[in-house]
Amino acid sequence: MSGSRLLPQLGPDNRFFWTGGADGQLRLLQCEACDTFIHPPRPICPTCLSEAVAPRVVAGTGVIDSYTINRQKWHPAMEVPFVFARIAIDGAPGVILSTNIVGSPVDAVEIGDRVRVVFEQQDDVFLPLFEKVG
């Protein structure tokens, strides 16, 4: 699938997220006043309305919250099947990342499985994908 993915337009709000993987670290926006994680990133904390928000490195592990196995080729270059999943990120309460599960057969994925981030670079974007651990 590498090379054929649609990529995000990078800007002041999201550049840290999509390029943070250059050093292998997953980063999420966090409020410096009350520690709330803010995803998708916005320039204000929804809990305390502080504008002191900054990217923080998080563990890069998590749990599969849900998933689907996509089997439809939505364009000719798309390789199927693949797993599209929601990950509840460790240490960042309330944050879900939608992503792909890679490195295991599609039918080996289950809700509750533990996963860790692996980055896939395409152009200037480092996509946070996840693989099963253990």
The residues binding another protein (CB under 8 A) are 1, 5-11, 14, 39-40, 65-72, 74-75, 78, 82, 84-86, 94-100, 110-111, 125, 127, 129
Q: Cβ-count burial of 37 within 10 angstroms (0-12 exposed, 13-18 middle, 19+ buried)?
A: buried
Who contacts 29 (Cβ-Cβ below 8 Å, separation ≥6)? 16, 17, 37, 38, 39, 41, 42, 53, 54, 55, 56
Nearer to another protein, 110 or 134 (CB): 110
Residue 101: CB minimum distance to another protein, A: 10
- Evaluated on CA atoms 21, 131, 95, 75, the torsion sign reads positive
Q: CA-CA distance, 73 to 64, in Å (whole number)? A: 24
Residue pair 107/81 in contact (Cβ under 8 Å)? The answer is no
Closest distance between another protein and the C-beta of residue 12, in Å? Answer: 12
Q: Which is nearer to another protein, 63 or 69 (CB)?
A: 69
Residue 87 Cβ, how far from another protein at the closest point, in Å? 10
Minimum CB distance to another protein smaller for 48 or for 111 = 111
CB of 66 to another protein, least distance (A): 4
Q: Name which of 56 and 100 has its Cβ closer to another protein.
A: 100
Measure the CA–CA gap between 49 and 46, rounded to whole angstroms. Answer: 6
